[in-house]
Amino acid sequence: QKEVEQNSGPLSVPEGAIASLNCTYSDRGSQSFFWYRQYSGKSPELIMSIYSNGDKEDGRFTAQLNKASQYVSLLIRDSQPSDSATYLCAPFGGAQKLVFGQGTRLTINP
Amino acid sequence: GAGVSQSPSNKVTEKGKDVELRCDPISGHTALYWYRQSLGQGLEFLIYFQGNSAPDKSGLPSDRFSAERTGGSVSTLTIQRTQQEDSAVYLCASSSGLPNTGELFFGEGSRLTVL
């Protein structure tokens, strides 16, 4: 079992719709969770962090965490073409290191 | 500059040669990470440093790979006797090093091509 699993996509969403990205992780020692965005040919950049069960909203982005189910998700509302990128889920594990999933490639269609 | 700096940005080498990749983290950041990203793939963890110590070297693919960090600052990733499968972008990132801090700041990467 991979430490972090994401659907590699591509996920295609019409402009203005909600994009839903999912991630499961295996390390129950993980206490904090991060979403990174990576544009093609660029380095990853942090867009969201979540530490407690429930939802955390930041602008058009909402992160959701369920530690019992070892599940974290990212919702992007009112999707824009500029949101087209690969989204990487990254739990901060008990070994004090950030482990990345393979990423979900998201395409927003105008 | 204020960000993470990596050099060289591009390196083409012949199979069997040794290469050194350098990372200069953000000033004051105690944690430093090396990742590898092959074309179209996710980030593969290689090693991380807390200060000059490397608590976790579990991601280094083979004994041809080594890394060091001196003065709690600059880090060098060395690949000996390079193979074609070593071709990838090598990304360095730094963070404040506080517990559970997953906010990493990445450099632009070093693209390695082994012919």
CB-CB under 8 Å, B43 with A88? yes
For residues A86 and A105, the answer to whether their CB atoms sit within 8 Å is yes
Asked if residue A38 lies in contact with residue A105, where contact means CB atoms within 8 angstroms, the answer is: no
**Pick among B91, B100, B110, B111 to test the A interface (most A CBs inside 10 A):** B100
Best of A7, A98, A105 to substitute, by most chain B Cβ atoms within 10 angstroms, is A98
**Closest A-chain CA to B90:** A43
Strand ranges in B38-108 using DSSP code E only, listed in sequence order = 44-50, 53-56, 65-69, 75-79, 88-95, 105-106
> What is the C-alpha separation between B8 and B89, in angstroms, rounded?
11
What's the Cα-to-Cα distance from A32 to each of A2, A53, B20, rounded to whole Å?
18, 10, 33
CA distance B40 to chain A (A): 9
What pLDDT, on a 0 to 100 scale, did the predictor assign at position A94?
Answer: 65
Is the N-terminal amide bond of B99 cis, ω within 30° of 0?
no
Q: Stretch A8-30: mean pLDDT, rounded? A: 93
CA distance A110 to chain B (A): 24
Is the pLDDT at A76 greater than 90? The verdict is yes
Does residue B67 sit at the A interface (CB-CB below 8 Å)? no
Within chain B, which residues score under 70 in pLDDT? Answer: 1, 99-100
pLDDT > 60? residue A87: yes
Give chain B's radius of gyration (CA, Å). 13
Instruction: Please give the Cα distance from A70 to A26 (Å, whole number).
Output: 7
Which among B83, B64, B65, B78 has a CA at the least distance from the CA of B23?
A: B78
Per CB-CB distance under 8 Å, the chain A contacts of B102 are 32-34, 46, 49, 90-92, 98
Q: Cβ of B35 under 8 Å from any chain A Cβ?
A: yes
Confidence of residue A1 (pLDDT cuts 50, 70, 90): low
- Cβ within 8 Å, pair A31-B100: yes
pLDDT value of residue B100: 66
Q: What is the mean pLDDT of residues A31-49?
A: 94
3-state secondary structure of B106: strand
Distance CA B15, CA B11 (A): 12
Q: Closest residue of B to A33, CA-based?
A: B102
